[in-house]
Amino acid sequence: MSDQPVGRQLTAESAFAGLREICKGLSLEAEGAELLGPVGDNAVFQLPAHSLVARLTQAGRLPRLRREVRTAHWLAELDFPAVRVAGDVDELVVHDGLAASFWEWIPDLAQSSSAEIGELLRQLHGLPLPPTGLLTLHDPFAGQREHIEAAEVSDDDRAFLRARLSELEDAYPHLPYNWPVGVVHGDAHRKNVVRAGDGRLLLLDLERFGLGHREWDIVVPAVYHRVGWYSRGEHEAFIETYGYDITKWDGFSTLVAIRELRMTTWLAARTGREPRLLPEARRRIASLRDDTVPRNWTPGE
């Protein structure tokens, strides 16, 4: 297999084709592979013949993929409840512009409750700092310019998103954080903090894992409540379990704006290959323009 990190446009079709090629080179059976969730920066597949999960991305993202695998090994050494790298196949494979990593399949997964997310994040944020060089500083703006340029939106909307991004990039370094830099998940939503069939709580999707301020993780339930994905009771359950109400923090509104922009640009970047998402992308952009517009967002499943 080639080890040249050449880019390839990631769509469901190209990802399936790449998966078949990669599996063939590893003597793995790709028949019956199931795509898990939408294709964004990654495409994630279950390989039922081997009880594995394959994560595919563009080969240019290989450094991030390597960091994700190293993070998984470190968490395993700490016996922290998180997804594990598969031990019986190559951890990382690069082929024809795609990079793949392989993970243990966890059966009977269910989305965790807001209280369970609070419980696991409290444990995560209590971890010691990792060995020097293992994690990079978390960047909440990573990939957003790329997403804005990929979006099938009007020139006016694109200009607005660019301006909002620049405004928030300027504001972010001045936020009055309550805690020092520590370990953060980076994308701690209800699909990435899950309950296994045996009742264990687990962290999935370690690609945004890094060193940062925990406020980035714990603002997510507040944003979910704001856009209509959590009830008030679910948000309060998170606050009670985690032990902190971020809505009372002075930097809350800015961090919410950064999170909402990221959620909007991520979805808008998919509109070229998934035109069905255009109405939702326009709805989100309109609500970012006018804070009095009800958010009532629909998840980009």
- How does pLDDT run across 37-83, given as a tens digit for each residue? 888 788 999 999 898 999 999 888 888 889 999 999 999 999 999 99
d(CA 94, CA 99) in angstroms, rounded, equals 4
Contacts (Cβ under 8 Å, ≥6 apart) of 34: 45, 46, 48
| Four-residue CA torsion sign, 280, 286, 291, 292 | negative
Q: Residue 145 in contact with residue 265, Cβ under 8 Å?
A: no
For the chain, how far is it from start to end, CA to CA, in angstroms?
33
Instruction: Tell me which amino acid residue 191 is.
Output: K
3-state secondary structure (DSSP) of residue 172: helix
Q: What is the pLDDT of residue 262?
A: 97
Give the whole-angstrom CA distance, residue 293 versus residue 64: 37
Q: Who's near 246: CB < 8 A, 6+ residues apart?
A: 215, 218, 219, 222, 252, 255
Q: Which of 118-132, 240-254, 282-296 has the lowest mean pLDDT?
A: 282-296
Give the residue-averaged pLDDT of 264-277: 93
Rounded-to-integer distance, Cα 186 and Cα 210, Å = 7
In DSSP terms, 46 is beta-bridged to: 34, 53
What does pTM read for this prediction? Answer: 0.89
Q: Is the confidence at residue 112, as pLDDT, over 80?
A: yes
How does the average pLDDT of the chain come out, rounded? 92
Distance of CA 235 to the CA centre of its chain: 20
Q: Stretch 116-134: mean pLDDT, rounded?
A: 96
Residue listed under structure tokens 């309550």:
178
Average pLDDT for 254-262: 97
CB atoms within 10 A of CB 45: 20
Once rounded to an integer, what is the mean pLDDT over residues 266-276? 93
Q: How confident is the model at residue 294 (pLDDT cuts 50, 70, 90)?
A: confident
Residue 221 has pLDDT above 90, yes or no: yes
CA torsion, points 228, 229, 234, 239, in degrees to nearest 10? Answer: -90
What domains does the chain contain, in order, with CATH numbers? 12-105 (3.30.200.20), 114-289 (3.90.1200.10)
Separation of alpha carbons 2 and 96, rounded Å: 6
How confident is the model at residue 9, as a pLDDT? 63
* Greatest Cα-to-Cα distance within the chain, rounded to the nearest angstrom: 55
pLDDT score of 61: 86
